[in-house]
C-alpha cells in the first residue's frame, strides 16, 4: 500500500480523494497467556469519502477488533504495530485530547446491539447530545441538532423522544437513535459493526435503508462490518474478507462475489442459502474457525481448505493482485475454484 | 451409583459434579491453601489445648499480674496473673464451638426451608419468604441481646439467637439456587421420567446446591465467630473465668490504660486471623463455583 | 393505579406487618420469660400478697395477653414505653436523653462509611493492579475486624500511645469537643461496614465498567472522567444505596458494642445496661426503635429505587430490594 506523505504532514487536510480511513499493516497482539496468535495480523484497509466498504468474516475472525481499533478502542493490554489513520492522522499514537476530538468529530461508530449501546438509566436526549456537549457545543444548540437528527432518521415527535428513556423504544427505533447520535458530529467516516444483527428481521431493512440514504446524502465513508454476504453484496462498493486476523481477499463487490479467488471466500458464498430457482443447496465449510489459542503455520485456512497443498501449511501466502482485487492464496491463479 | 442409573438423556443434558465437588478445596492458589492450613491448625489447637497449654488457663496468681512477654509466660499474663497463651489456646475451643453450632443449625434449617420454598413455590414460598423477611428485620446481635435479657447470660441464648438470625441468609441463597436449578432441563427430564420430587431434590438438587451452601457456611462461620465474640465482649456470652477471646478483650481493656496491650490485642489478633481465614476459604469456594458455571 | 405504586404499597404493608409482628415478639418476650413478670418487677425484694396484687393490677397482668398487648402497643404508639426500673424514670424521657449521643455517633459513622466505603470501592475499580489489590486486602481485613477489636486497637494506638484522641469516658463540652471524643468510636463503628460497602461498590463499578454503553460513550469522545461520573457511578448506584441503607440499621445495633467499649452515654450502652439490670421496658423500647429504623430505611430504599433505575417503574411486581 502506498502512503500519501503530504496528507500525513498536512494533518487535518481533507482533500477530495484522500481516503477517510487508512488502516496500514495493523498488527494487534494480546499478552501470550491470552492469545497464541495476533488478533490482527498485518491488516490493511482503506475507505474513500462516500464509499461503502464491507468487512466480512465468521465470528472470531477479528473484524470487530479491527473496526473498534478505528476509534482507538483496543482490548486491555493489547500491543499494536502499524497505523490506523483517520483523515490522515494515526489514532493509535494520538494524545488523549486529540483522540477524544477525533471520536467526537471525524469518526463515529454504530454498534451491534442498541439496547447495550445506550445507557438504560439516562434519557435519550442525554445520549444524543452527549457527544456534541463533549466538544463544547452549547446545550441549546446540541438539543436543536438532536431534534433535527431524530427527524432525519424518521422518529416521530423528536422533541418528545428526547425526554423518553431507552426502555420505552423498540430495538429498531433505538438503533435509529444510535444512528442519529453517530451522525451528530457530522463525521467523515461511520463504522457500523453488524448494526442489524440484534434486530428483528422486519426492521433490518429499514435500518439499512436509513443508514445508506444518510450516508449517500452526506458523502460519509462507511465501513460496514457484517457476516451476511448477501447484505454486503447489496450495499458495499468494495469488500474485504477476513480470516483468523488476516485479510484473505479484497476487491470490488461484483468481481469478488462473481469470481472469488480465495477458497475461503468461495466457501462463505457456497454456504449462504440462496432463494433463486435452481441454485445449489448450501454447503457448509468443513471444520471450525481457528481459535486465538492456535497459531497454525502457513495459511490459517489450510486445515479447512479442500484445495490445500503441502506448501499451504508451511508458507503464509501474501496478499497479491489478481484481476481487479487482491487475494492471499498460493493457488489463486490456478483456476482451481469452479 | 447404587440405584438405577439416571436416564442417559438427562446425564447428557448436564453432567453432575459428582466427585469433582471435593476438588473445590484444592488448587485455589497459595492464599487459599494458607487459610485452609490455618483453620486446620486452629481446630488442632482447640482439640489439643490441654496438652499444649503450659498453664491452667483459669489459675489466677495476683502476684504475677501483667507480667511481660518471654520468661515463664511466653505471651505474659493478664491482670489476674493468668497465662495469656494458655487462655488463647483454650479460648479457641469456645471460639470454634459456638460458631460450629450456629452454622450447623442455620445451614440445615436454611437449606431445608430454602429448598422447600424454591421447589414448592406458591404458598410455601410466600409463607417462608415473609417469615425470613421478619427475621431480617431484627439483626442477630439485637435478637441475642433480647434473648439474653430473658434467659440470662451464657452460651445458649447467643447461639440460639445467631442460629435463628443466620438461617434466612442461607435460606434466601438456597431458595434462589433451587429455583434456578429447578428451571434447568435436566430436572425437567427427571420429572418426565417419573422420578418423585423428593428423590430429585435429595439426589440431584441438593448435590448441585451443596458447593454454594458450603461457601456461604464458611463465611457465616467467620461472621458467627465475630458476633459471638462481640456478645462475650459485652459480658453476655461465656461467663468468667472460662477462657474466651471476646471475654479476654473485655477484661484486657483496663490493662490498655496501664500500657499493657497484649492481654487485649492477642485475642483480637486471633479473632481477625480466624475470620479472615474463613472469609478467604468461603470466597475461594465461591470463585471456584463461579468459574465452573462459566 | 400503576405497577410501581401497587408495588410500593405492597412493600409498605409488608414492612408494617414486620413492625407489628416484631412488636408482638418484643412484648411477648417478657411473658415467655421463665418465671413470673412480677418477679422481675420486684427485683427480688420481698413482697406481701397485697403488693403483688397491686403490681399485677398496675401492670394489667391479669388481663388476657391480647388485651395487654393492645394496651401496650397503644401506649407505645403514644410514646409511653412504661417506666425504667433501674433509673426510676419514664422510658421515653430516658431515651430522649440518650438519643442525641447515639444519633451523633451513628451520623458521624455513616458519613465515614459512605465516604470511605464508596471512595475506596471506586478507587479500586478504576485503578486495577496494585491499588485494587491493596484495597482488597485492606477491606478484607476491615470486614473481618469486629467493632470491639477496632475499638481497643484504636484506643491503644491513638489514645494511649499517641495521645491524639481521648480514651473511653469523659464528659465533652460543646460540639467540637464531642466530635473529638466521638472520632475513635465512629471509626471503630465504621470499619467493618466501610469495608463491606467498599467491596459492594467495587463490584458494582466493575460490572458497569464492562458494559458496552460505557465503550460507546468513550467511542463518542466523551472525556474519561465524565464517562465514569455519568455512566459508571450513576449506574452502579443501585446496589450501593440498597446495601448502604440496610447498613444503617446495623450501625444502630452495633452502637451497643462501641458505646460500651468507649463509655459513650447513648441508646446502645443503655440497652446493654438494661439487659444486665433486667430493665425490660427499656430493652423493649430500644428493640422496637431499632426495628422501626430498619423498616423506615427499607421504605426509603424502596422509594429511591425507581428514581435510581427508571426501568423499575415498569415492573408490576418484584422480588423486593432488601
Tell me, yes or no, if A114 comes closer than 8 A to chain C by beta carbon: no
Range picked from B12-21, B79-88, B157-166, C26-35 for highest mean pLDDT? B157-166
Q: Do C29 and B229 touch (CB under 8 A)?
A: no
Distance from the Cα of A314 to chain C's closest Cα (Å) equals: 39
- Helix residue ranges, H only, B138-155: 140-151
Separation of alpha carbons B112 and B257, rounded Å: 49
Give residue A43's pLDDT band: very low, low, confident or very high (50, 70, 90). very high
Question: What are residue A29's DSSP bridge partners?
Answer: A79
Tell me if C312 sits within 8 A of C318, measured CB to CB.
yes
Range picked from A271-280, B14-23, C72-81, C130-139 for highest mean pLDDT? C130-139
ipTM: 0.84
Averaged pLDDT, B182-195: 80
What are the chain C neighbours of B230 within 8 Å (beta carbons)? 146-148, 257
Q: Using one digit for the tens of pLDDT, what is the confidence trace for A185-207?
A: 889 999 999 888 888 888 888 88
pLDDT at B170: 92
Q: Do chains C and B touch (3 or more CB pairs under 8 A)?
A: yes
Q: Using one digit for the tens of pLDDT, what is the confidence trace for C219-238?
A: 888 888 889 988 999 888 88
pLDDT at B22: 44
Residue listed under C-alpha cell 417503574: C313
Averaged pLDDT, C272-296: 87
Burial B14-53 (b: 16+ CB within 10 A, else e): eeebeeeeeebeeebeeebbebbebbeebeebbeebeeeb
Percent of chain A at pLDDT > 90 equals 20
pLDDT at B16: 42
pLDDT at B76: 79
Q: Which helix (H) or strand (E) holds B233?
A: helix B206-233
> By C-alpha distance, which of B266, B203, B145, B228 is closest to B11?
B203
pLDDT at B28: 65
For residue A7, is pLDDT > 50? no
Q: Do C216 and A71 touch (CB under 8 A)?
A: no
Nearest by CB to residue A71, choosing from C219, C222, C308, is C219
Distance from the Cα of C206 to chain A's closest Cα (Å) equals: 14
Strand order in the sheet with A79-86: A40-47, A21-29, A79-86, A89-90
Distance from the Cα of A55 to chain C's closest Cα (Å) equals: 20
For residue B19, is pLDDT > 60? no
pLDDT at A231: 87
Nearest by CB to residue B149, choosing from C14, C152, C275, is C275
pLDDT at C67: 84
Nearest by CB to residue A121, choosing from C217, C221, C309, is C309
Nearest by CB to residue B271, choosing from C30, C149, C261, is C149
CA B177, B181, B182, B187 dihedral sign is negative
- State the pTM of this model: 0.82
What are the chain C neighbours of B139 within 8 Å (beta carbons)? 249-250, 253, 290, 294
What are the chain B neighbours of C140 within 8 Å (beta carbons)? 276, 279-280
> By C-alpha distance, which of B34, B27, B30 is closest to B273?
B34
Averaged pLDDT, A25-30: 92
Nearest by CB to residue C216, choosing from A104, A111, A134, is A111
Tell me, yes or no, if C211 comes closer than 8 A to chain A by beta carbon: yes
pLDDT at C322: 35
**Considering chain B, what is the average pLDDT of its residues?**
82
Percent of chain A at pLDDT > 70 equals 94
Residue C217 or residue B6, greater confidence: C217
> By C-alpha distance, which of B157, B37, B32, B21 is closest to B101?
B157
Averaged pLDDT, A309-326: 87
Give residue B15's pLDDT band: very low, low, confident or very high (50, 70, 90). very low
Axis crossing angle, helix C91-112 with helix C267-276, rounded to the nearest 10 = 130
Q: Using one digit for the tens of pLDDT, what is the confidence trace for C135-152?
A: 999 999 999 999 999 998
Give residue C268's pLDDT band: very low, low, confident or very high (50, 70, 90). very high
Burial B127-144 (b: 16+ CB within 10 A, else e): ebbebbbbbbbbbbbbbb
Chain C interface, best mutation among A69, A98, A110, A130, by max C CB count within 10 A: A130
Tell me, yes or no, if A7 comes closer than 8 A to chain C by beta carbon: no
Residue C32 or residue C215, greater confidence: C215
Q: Could you say which residues from 73 to 112 on chain C have a Cβ atom under 8 Å away from some Cβ of chain A? A: none
pLDDT at C1: 54
Dig out the grid coordinates for A104 from the structure.
467526537
Give the residue from chain C lying closest to B268, CA to CA: C149
Q: Which of A58-62, B193-197, B228-232, C259-263 has the lowest mean pLDDT?
A: B193-197
Dig out the grid coordinates for A190 from the structure.
461511520
Q: Using one digit for the tens of pLDDT, what is the confidence trace for B251-280?
A: 888 888 777 888 888 899 999 999 999 999
Distance from the Cα of B254 to chain C's closest Cα (Å) equals: 10
Burial tier of A80 (Cβ tally within 10 Å: 0-12, 13-18, 19+): middle
pLDDT at C315: 52
Tell me if C124 sits within 8 A of C135, measured CB to CB.
yes
Q: Using one digit for the tens of pLDDT, what is the confidence trace for B120-141?
A: 888 888 888 888 888 888 888 9
Give residue C320's pLDDT band: very low, low, confident or very high (50, 70, 90). very low
pLDDT at B4: 39
For residue C43, is pLDDT > 70? no
Q: Do B272 and C21 touch (CB under 8 A)?
A: no
- Helix residue ranges, H only, C113-233: 118-126, 130-143, 147-154, 174-209, 212-219, 224-227
What are the chain A neighbours of C315 within 8 Å (beta carbons)? none
pLDDT at C317: 40
**Considering chain C, what is the average pLDDT of its residues?**
84
Q: Using one digit for the tens of pLDDT, what is the confidence trace for B140-173?
A: 899 999 888 888 888 899 999 999 999 999 999 9
Dig out the grid coordinates for B147 from the structure.
434473648
Q: Do A130 and C310 touch (CB under 8 A)?
A: no
Q: Do chains A and B touch (3 or more CB pairs under 8 A)?
A: no
Tell me if C217 sits within 8 A of C284, measured CB to CB.
no
**Distance between the two ends of chain A, CA-based, in angstroms?**
30
Dig out the grid coordinates for B80 from the structure.
489476674
Q: Which chains does B contact via 3+ CB–CB distances below 8 A?
A: C
Tell me, yes or no, if C129 comes closer than 8 A to chain A by beta carbon: no
Separation of alpha carbons A12 and A324, rounded Å: 31
Secondary structure letter of residue C88 according to DSSP: T
Tell me, yes or no, if A198 comes closer than 8 A to chain C by beta carbon: no
Nearest by CB to residue C167, choosing from B236, B257, B276, is B257
Percent of chain C at pLDDT > 90 equals 29
Tell me, yes or no, if A190 comes closer than 8 A to chain C by beta carbon: no
What are the chain B neighbours of C195 within 8 Å (beta carbons)? none
For residue C157, is pLDDT > 60? yes
Tell me, yes or no, if C310 comes closer than 8 A to chain A by beta carbon: yes
pLDDT at C117: 95
Amino acid at each position: 500500500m502506498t502512503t500519501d506523505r503530504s496528507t500525513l504532514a498536512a494533518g487535518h487536510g481533507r482533500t477530495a480523494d484522500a481516503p477517510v480511513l487508512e488502516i496500514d499493516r495493523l498488527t494487534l497482539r494480546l499478552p501470550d497467556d491470552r492469545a497464541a496468535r495476533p488478533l490482527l495480523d498485518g491488516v490493511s484497509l482503506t475507505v474513500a469519502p462516500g464509499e461503502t466498504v464491507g468487512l466480512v468474516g465468521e465470528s472470531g475472525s477479528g473484524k470487530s477488533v479491527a473496526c473498534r481499533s478505528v476509534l482507538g478502542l483496543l482490548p486491555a493490554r493489547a500491543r499494536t504495530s502499524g497505523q490506523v489513520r483517520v483523515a490522515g492522522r494515526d489514532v493509535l499514537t494520538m494524545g488523549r485530547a486529540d483522540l477524544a476530538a477525533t471520536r467526537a468529530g471525524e469518526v463515529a461508530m454504530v454498534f451491534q446491539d442498541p439496547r447495550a449501546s445506550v445507557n438504560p438509566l439516562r434519557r435519550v436526549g442525554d445520549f444524543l447530545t452527549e457527544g456534541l456537549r463533549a466538544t463544547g457545543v452549547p446545550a441549546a444548540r446540541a438539543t436543536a441538532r438532536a431534534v433535527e437528527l431524530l427527524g432525519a432518521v424518521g422518529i416521530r415527535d423528536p422533541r418528545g423522544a428526547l425526554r423518553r428513556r431507552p426502555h420505552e423504544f423498540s430495538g429498531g427505533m433505538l438503533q435509529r437513535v444510535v444512528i442519529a447520535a453517530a451522525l451528530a458530529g457530522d463525521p467523515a467516516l461511520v463504522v457500523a459493526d453488524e448494526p442489524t444483527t440484534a434486530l428483528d428481521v422486519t426492521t433490518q431493512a429499514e435500518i439499512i435503508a436509513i443508514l445508506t440514504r444518510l450516508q449517500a446524502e452526506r458523502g460519509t465513508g462507511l465501513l460496514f462490518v457484517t457476516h451476511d454476504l448477501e447484505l454486503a453484496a447489496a450495499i458495499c462498493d468494495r469488500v474485504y474478507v477476513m480470516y483468523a486476523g488476516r485479510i484473505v481477499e479484497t476487491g470490488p463487490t461484483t468481481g469478488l462475489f462473481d469470481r472469488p479467488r480465495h477458497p475461503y471466500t468461495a466457501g462463505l458464498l457456497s454456504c449462504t442459502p440462496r432463494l433463486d430457482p435452481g441454485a445449489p443447496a448450501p454447503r457448509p465449510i468443513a471444520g471450525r474457525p481457528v481459535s486465538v489459542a492456535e497459531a497454525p503455520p502457513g495459511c490459517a485456512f489450510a486445515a479447512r481448505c479442500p484445495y490445500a497443498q503441502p506448501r499451504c501449511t508451511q508458507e503464509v501466502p501474501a496478499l497479491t493482485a489478481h484481476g481487479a482485487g487482491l487475494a492471499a492464496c498460493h493457488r489463486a491463479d490456478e483456476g482451481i475454484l469452479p | 451409583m447404587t440405584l438405577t442409573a439416571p436416564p442417559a438423556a438427562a446425564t447428557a443434558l448436564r453432567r453432575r459434579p459428582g466427585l469433582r465437588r471435593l476438588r473445590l478445596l484444592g488448587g485455589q492458589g497459595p492464599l487459599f491453601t494458607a487459610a485452609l492450613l490455618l483453620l486446620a491448625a486452629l481446630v488442632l489447637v482447640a482439640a489439643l489445648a490441654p496438652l499444649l497449654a503450659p498453664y491452667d488457663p483459669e489459675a489466677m496468681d495476683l502476684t504475677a499480674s501483667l507480667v511481660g512477654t518471654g520468661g515463664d509466660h511466653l505471651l505474659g499474663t493478664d491482670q489476674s496473673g493468668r497465662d495469656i497463651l494458655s487462655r488463647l489456646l483454650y479460648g479457641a475451643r469456645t471460639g470454634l464451638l459456638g460458631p460450629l453450632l450456629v452454622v450447623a443449625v442455620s445451614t440445615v434449617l436454611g437449606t431445608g426451608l430454602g429448598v422447600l420454598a424454591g421447589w414448592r413455590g406458591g404458598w410455601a414460598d410466600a409463607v417462608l419468604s415473609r417469615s425470613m423477611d421478619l427475621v431480617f428485620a431484627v439483626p442477630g446481635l439485637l435478637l441475642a441481646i433480647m434473648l439474653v435479657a430473658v434467659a440470662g447470660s451464657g452460651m445458649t441464648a447467643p447461639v440460639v439467637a445467631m442460629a435463628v438470625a443466620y438461617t434466612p441468609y442461607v435460606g434466601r441463597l438456597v431458595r434462589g439456587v433451587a429455583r434456578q436449578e429447578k428451571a434447568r432441563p435436566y430436572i425437567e427430564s427427571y420429572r418426565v421420567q417419573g422420578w418423585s420430587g423428593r428423590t430429585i431434590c435429595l439426589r440431584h438438587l441438593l448435590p448441585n446446591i451443596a458447593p454454594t451452601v458450603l461457601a456461604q457456611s464458611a463465611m457465616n462461620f467467620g461472621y458467627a465467630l465475630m458476633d459471638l465474640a462481640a456478645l462475650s465482649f459485652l459480658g453476655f456470652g461465656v461467663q468468667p473465668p472460662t477462657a474466651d477471646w471476646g471475654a479476654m478483650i473485655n477484661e484486657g481493656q483496663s490493662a490498655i490504660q496501664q500500657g499493657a496491650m497484649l492481654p487485649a490485642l492477642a485475642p483480637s489478633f486471633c479473632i481477625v486471623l480466624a475470620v479472615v481465614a474463613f472469609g478467604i476459604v468461603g470466597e475461594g469456594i465461591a470463585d471456584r463455583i463461579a468459574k465452573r458455571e462459566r | 393505579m400503576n405497577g410501581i405504586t401497587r408495588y410500593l404499597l405492597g412493600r409498605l404493608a409488608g414492612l408494617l406487618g414486620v413492625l407489628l409482628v416484631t412488636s408482638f415478639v418484643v412484648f411477648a418476650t417478657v411473658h415467655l420469660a421463665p418465671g413470673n413478670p412480677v418477679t422481675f418487677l420486684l427485683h427480688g425484694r420481698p413482697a406481701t400478697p397485697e403488693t403483688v396484687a397491686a403490681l399485677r393490677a398496675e401492670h394489667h397482668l391479669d388481663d388476657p395477653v391480647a388485651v395487654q398487648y393492645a394496651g401496650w402497643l397503644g401506649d407505645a404508639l403514644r410514646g409511653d414505653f412504661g417506666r425504667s426500673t433501674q433509673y426510676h424514670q419514664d422510658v421515653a424521657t430516658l431515651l430522649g436523653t440518650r438519643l442525641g449521643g447515639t444519633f451523633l455517633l451513628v451520623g458521624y459513622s455513616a458519613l465515614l462509611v459512605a465516604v470511605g466505603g464508596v471512595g475506596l470501592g471506586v478507587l479500586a475499580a478504576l485503578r486495577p493492579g496494585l491499588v485494587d489489590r491493596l484495597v482488597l486486602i485492606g477491606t478484607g481485613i476491615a470486614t473481618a475486624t469486629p467493632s470491639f477489636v477496632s475499638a481497643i486497637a484504636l484506643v491503644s494506638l491513638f489514645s494511649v500511645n499517641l495521645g491524639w484522641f481521648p480514651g473511653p469516658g469523659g464528659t465533652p463540652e460543646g460540639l467540637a469537643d464531642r466530635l473529638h471524643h466521638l472520632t475513635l468510636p465512629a471509626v471503630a463503628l465504621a470499619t467493618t461496614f466501610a469495608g463491606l460497602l467498599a467491596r459492594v461498590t467495587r463490584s458494582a463499578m466493575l460490572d458497569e465498567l464492562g458494559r458496552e454503553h460505557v465503550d460507546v460513550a468513550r467511542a463518542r469522545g466523551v472525556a474519561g472522567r465524565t464517562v465514569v461520573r455519568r455512566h459508571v457511578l450513576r449506574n452502579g448506584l443501585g446496589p450501593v444505596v440498597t446495601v448502604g441503607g440496610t447498613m444503617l440499621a446495623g450501625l444502630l445495633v452495633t452502637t451497643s458494642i462501641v458505646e460500651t467499649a468507649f463509655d459513650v452515654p447513648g441508646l446502645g450502652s443503655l440497652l446493654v445496661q438494661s439487659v444486665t439490670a433486667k430493665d425490660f421496658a427499656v430493652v423493649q423500647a430500644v428493640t422496637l426503635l431499632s426495628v422501626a429504623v430498619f423498616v423506615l430505611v427499607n421504605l426509603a430504599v424502596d422509594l429511591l429505587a425507581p428514581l435510581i433505575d427508571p426501568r423499575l417503574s415498569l415492573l408490576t411486581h418484584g422480588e423486593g430490594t432488601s
